[in-house]
């Protein structure tokens, strides 16, 4: 059943239809929240609140964008607001000022790892990124959202999203190398 | 600087990475809150022209006809054989005074007023 029909049914008073929408988008919504607030419990609270907020204002959803874009926008901004409240958030401009070290010495080592090990290292490296960068990668690679949709969600310009995605990958590369180096050191 | 090959490999790995799933029972907990929340009101739309709008249009149309017929046009007793060029100047509205523009202005005013009085067409 497509989103617009589920929304219509929800507006007609069918709460099970909304449960289907929650089930459909809960994973990425939670994933966005956890990337930003960096705590499982806080992320669940943020994602839950976002779904309830979306439900209450469902009649204002005009269908100009996809429901997922509208929902992720609510989650993203609720998570940012929570992270700011918890003081777990560094403004983007401070991160931009920091230089990304250029390090690709161990870049090829990743291919020698098993899929499971790669997942573990990648997840750890993602955790080290700035919350917004990690979220952009999340949206672009896991959910395969187009850049324009990501720009709508984050209220950034399309070019800014592209630049940040590039920087985020570069940063991720560096973090992966750091992790691999320390892993090699610990083995030796 | 990472090479394009390395960047591509990284992008492939990112696509492989599993998303952090929502905890078990997440949907149920959301729905508990949803059941307590006020239900969203269904969207209702009013017709673009309300009842008074149609009344205004009818009134304006009638006044336009009356104004036109009340002009100094005289109906011929028998429709003469005329060329279209000769007939045109004797059309009812041809030499009617300021009645037509006035009626049109009145019509616009009534429609604007009707729009203002009905405020928001979208009923929440």
pLDDT in tens, B8-48: 777 777 777 777 789 999 999 999 999 888 888 765 555 66
pLDDT of residue B27: 93
Question: Is residue B74 less than 8 Å (CB to CB) from chain A?
Answer: no
Residue reference for tokens 């007023």: B113
pLDDT of residue A120: 83
Task: Report the residue from A30, A123, A169 with minimal CB separation from B22.
Answer: A30
Question: Is residue B54 less than 8 Å (CB to CB) from chain A?
Answer: no
Q: What is the DSSP letter of A112?
A: G
pLDDT of residue B42: 67
* Gyration radius (Cα) of chain B, Å: 34
Which of A145-159, B25-39, B90-104 comes out lowest in average pLDDT?
B90-104
Whether the per-residue pLDDT at A112 is higher than 90: the answer is no
pLDDT of residue A157: 92
The HSE-up count of residue B19 (CA atoms within 13 Å, CB side) is: 21
Structure tokens at A81: 């607001």
pLDDT of residue A100: 47
Whether the per-residue pLDDT at A97 is higher than 50: the answer is no
Give the Cα separation of A149 and A143 in Å (integer).
11
What percentage of chain B exceeds 90 in pLDDT? 9
Higher pLDDT, A148 or B116: A148
Contact criterion met (CB < 8 Å) for A26 and B31: no
Give the Cα separation of A51 and B124 in Å (integer).
20
Higher pLDDT, A118 or B78: A118
DSSP count for chain A of H helices, then E strands: 9, 0
**For residue range A40-85, what is the model confidence (pLDDT) as tens digits?**
999 999 999 999 999 998 988 877 788 988 999 999 999 999 988 8
For B37, nearest residue in chain A (alpha carbons): A56
β-strand B122-123 against B44-45: which pairing, if any?
antiparallel
Of A88, A109, A74, A96, which is closest to residue A36 (Cα–Cα)?
A88
At B104, phi and psi to the nearest 5? -65, -40
Structure tokens at B42: 């269904």
Average pLDDT, stretch B54-74? 70
B38's CB contacts (< 8 A; 6+ apart) are: A56
Residues 12-51 of A with CB under 8 A from B: 12-13, 15, 18-19, 22-23, 26-31, 34-35, 40, 44, 47-48, 51
Give the Cα separation of A121 and A135 in Å (integer).
17
* ipTM score: 0.74
Average pLDDT over chain A reads 83
Residue reference for tokens 């991160």: A95
Higher pLDDT, B103 or A169: A169
pLDDT of residue B11: 77
Whether the per-residue pLDDT at B122 is higher than 50: the answer is no
Residues 64-93 of A with CB under 8 A from B: none
Question: Is residue A110 less than 8 Å (CB to CB) from chain B?
Answer: yes
**B123, β-bridge pairs:** B44
Give the Cα separation of B24 and B14 in Å (integer).
24
């Amino acid at each position: 059943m497509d989103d617009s029909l589920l929304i219509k049914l929800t507006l007609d008073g069918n709460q099970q239809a909304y449960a289907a929408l929650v089930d459909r988008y809960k994973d990425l919504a939670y994933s966005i929240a956890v990337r930003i607030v960096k705590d499982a419990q806080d992320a669940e609270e943020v994602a839950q609140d976002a779904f309830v907020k979306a439900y209450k204002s469902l009649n204002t959803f005009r269908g100009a964008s996809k429901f997922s874009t509208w929902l992720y926008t609510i989650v993203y901004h609720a998570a940012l607001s929570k992270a700011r409240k918890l003081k777990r958030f560094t403004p983007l401009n401070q991160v931009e000022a920091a230089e990304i070290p250029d390090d690709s010495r161990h870049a090829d080592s990743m291919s020698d790892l098993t899929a499971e090990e790669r997942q573990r290292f990648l997840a750890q490296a993602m955790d080290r990124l700035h919350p917004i960068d990690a979220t952009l990668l999340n949206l672009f690679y896991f959910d395969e959202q187009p850049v324009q949709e990501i720009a709508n969600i984050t209220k950034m310009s399309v070019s800014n999203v592209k630049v940040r995605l590039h920087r985020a990958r570069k940063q991720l590369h560096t973090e992966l190398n750091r992790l691999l180096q320390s892993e090699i050191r610990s083995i030796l | 600087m990472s090479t394009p090959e390395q960047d591509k490999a990284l992008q492939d790995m990112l696509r492989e990475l599993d998303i952090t799933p929502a905890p078990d029972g997440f949907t149920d907990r959301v729905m508990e809150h949803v059941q307590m929340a006020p239900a969203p009101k269904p969207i209702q739309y009013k017709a673009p022209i309300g009842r008074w709008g149609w009344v205004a249009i009818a009134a304006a149309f009638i006044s336009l006809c009356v104004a036109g017929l009340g002009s100094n046009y005289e109906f011929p007793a028998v429709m003469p054989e005329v060329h279209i060029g000769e007939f045109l100047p004797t059309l009812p509205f041809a030499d009617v005074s300021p009645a037509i523009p006035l009626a049109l202005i009145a019509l616009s005013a009534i429609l604007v007023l009707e729009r203002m009085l009905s405020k928001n067409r979208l009923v929440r």
